[in-house]
Structure 1
């Protein structure tokens, strides 16, 4: 009896997971826009957005289903007249700053920009002080 219940529960969990992988891709995941100028803008933007599943590829290069969905969103928003920066901002609001290869200085990321500069200044002062004593 317990084995049958365990198998039923396992089946109930496995079926939705299997169905998610079999979903068809979004219409514009692998199809370009009809307008070559709009497709060029979309392609340029997609090169600067990171695939959240692969994390080492842009959404233009990735074959992950999530990247396909993001390509679809970029293309339909370009076709609707949104600017690349509006689309980037929307994706960053939705997925976080990590989605963009172009870092943005904000209240949470300013230390990433300031600390390297501070370390260079400190190293310069230490070298200056050390060589000044010898002279």
Structure 2
């Protein structure tokens, strides 16, 4: 079995990259679980963290994320709740710190129109673009060749 030097070098570089990146990907687990005073506090906490987005994971709620910052933010949310802040004040605290992105359902405001209407505008622009391509090809059909008239 003869392995080319280029292939061997690529394999070594890949192994080196994996070894370097592994500590960056590793997550530190939360050493102490959160303790709730009663069932009502726990239910409110879970409802609130389900409405907030993890600022690192971007596609997970604060309740679902296992990132270290999510653990820290869950503790922060619980601390704010225990300080007597209502849900709107807790959300506003996180919005002030991380921006509207932290909310799964941002408020409808001029600053968030892109979040609400951006996907629809992109879909419409793509439809117009495809429609123009189809219309252009319909006006100028491809020239017929002798191969098109042959039967297989």
TM-score interval w.r.t. the shorter chain? 0.5 to 0.7
For each residue in 1:30-55, what CA deviation from the matched residue of structure 2 results, as whole angstroms up to 9, or x when unmatched? 31312221111111000010011111
In structure 2, what is the equivalent of residue 12 of structure 1? none
The answer to whether 1:42 aligns with 2:70 is: no
Structure 1 gaps of 5+ residues are 1-17, 120-135
Is the partner of 1:58 in helix, strand or coil?
Answer: coil
Tell me the C-alpha RMSD between the 2 structures. Answer: 2.9
Q: TM-score, length-normalised on structure 1?
A: 0.60
Structure 2 gaps of 5+ residues are 1-23, 125-152
Runs of 4+ in 1 over 4 A off after TM superposition: 24-27, 111-117
CA separation of 1:111/1:51 partners in 2, compared to 1, >3 Å: closer, same or farther?
closer
Tell me how far apart the structure 2 counterparts of residues 78 and 37 of structure 1 sit (CA, whole Å). 12
- 1:95 aligned to which of 93, 98, 101: 98
The number of aligned residues is 98
In structure 2, what is the equivalent of residue 108 of structure 1? 111
Larger Rg: 2
For each residue in 1:71-125, what CA deviation from the matched residue of structure 2 results, as whole angstroms up to 9, or x when unmatched? 00111111221101100011011000000001212232235546759x7xxxxxx
Q: Which has the higher contact order (CA 8 A, sep 6+)?
A: 1
